[in-house]
Amino acid sequence: MRIALLEDEQEQARHIQGILSERGHDCDAFATGQSFLSAVQHRSYDCLILDWQIPDMSGIDVLVGVRAQLNWAIPVIFLTQRDSEQDIVQALDAGADDYLAKPARPAELLARIHALSRRTNPENEKEILVFGPFRVDTQSRSITLHGEPLTLTDKDFDLTLFLFKNQDRLLTREVLLERVWGVTRDINTRTVDTHMSRLRRRMGLNPDNGFRIKTIYQRGYRLEAMTATRAAAESGHAEAG
């Protein structure tokens, strides 16, 4: 797993990174809330670990930013010295999935991370996924629209499935390159733009079929589910144009 850690004490950060790396996890550590939020917007992580008391903002503020601004259901664990019942309730109400008191006990920390991973990424995922008129067969790697098979390349399928699984989440080009193409180095992001343009045509991802790929200027893309009212309004605007 790739994990982002918010911890301003360097010794603590190194200790936690050591625990995670021994079990094969990659962990990036950040000392400020701003640097942490910037990283999770542009990189791909499987789990976030937050301290409460950091220099530029509280861990709660960071959590609110993750949940509201990124609209992202990534697992979040608080690891902090604050362990009163009131603090725990506040963190859980703000969107945390789990809460641990410092100092971190290696076995417990790893068990909590793995439990959250199993909950958010169940191994027994259904082979058939349905998204409105789209039917995705993950075993045969095929997609139908209104019962008609779509002609897709392997990369088209991977990208479409990733978009469906992350509906309404802003996906930066960097995240898409990493998760779909397996590329972590900086390359020409026009690769993503070209595939997105092609998917709009091939997949029928438009308001008439209940979805649209929205381009977020200078940031990336978001697959949005369209309500009937919203779809009708979009179609009306298109006809008027």
- Which of 148-152, 186-190, 197-201: highest mean pLDDT? 148-152
CATH topology agreement for domains 2-120 and 128-240: no
Three-state secondary structure call for residue 125: coil
Taking residues 189-199, what's their average pLDDT?
Answer: 84
Three-state secondary structure call for residue 127: coil
Q: Domain 2-120 is of which CATH architecture?
A: 3-Layer(aba) Sandwich (3.40)
Mean pLDDT rounded to a whole number for the chain: 84
DSSP 4: E
Residue-wise pLDDT tens digits, 3-44: 999 999 999 999 999 999 999 899 999 999 999 998 887 777
CATH 3.90.1150.10 is right for the domain spanning 128-240: no
Q: Is 70 exceeded by the pLDDT of residue 236? A: no
Residue-wise pLDDT tens digits, 130-174: 999 999 998 899 999 999 999 888 889 999 999 998 888 888 888
Could you tell me the pLDDT band of residue 184, with boundaries at 50, 70 and 90? low
Residue-range domain boundaries for the chain: 2-120, 128-240
Q: What is the pLDDT of residue 229?
A: 45
Taking residues 109-120, what's their average pLDDT?
Answer: 84
Q: What is the pLDDT of residue 238?
A: 45
CA dihedral 184, 117, 48, 92 (to 10 degrees): 160
- Which of 51-65, 116-130, 143-157 shows the lowest mean pLDDT across its residues? 116-130
Q: What is the pLDDT of residue 71?
A: 58
Predicted TM-score of the model (pTM) = 0.66
> Please, which residues have CB within 8 angstroms of residue 83's CB and are 6 or more apart in sequence?
101
Return the higher-pLDDT residue of 24 and 234.
24
Q: What is the pLDDT of residue 185?
A: 57
- Give the DSSP H/E element, type plus range, for residue 135: strand 134-137
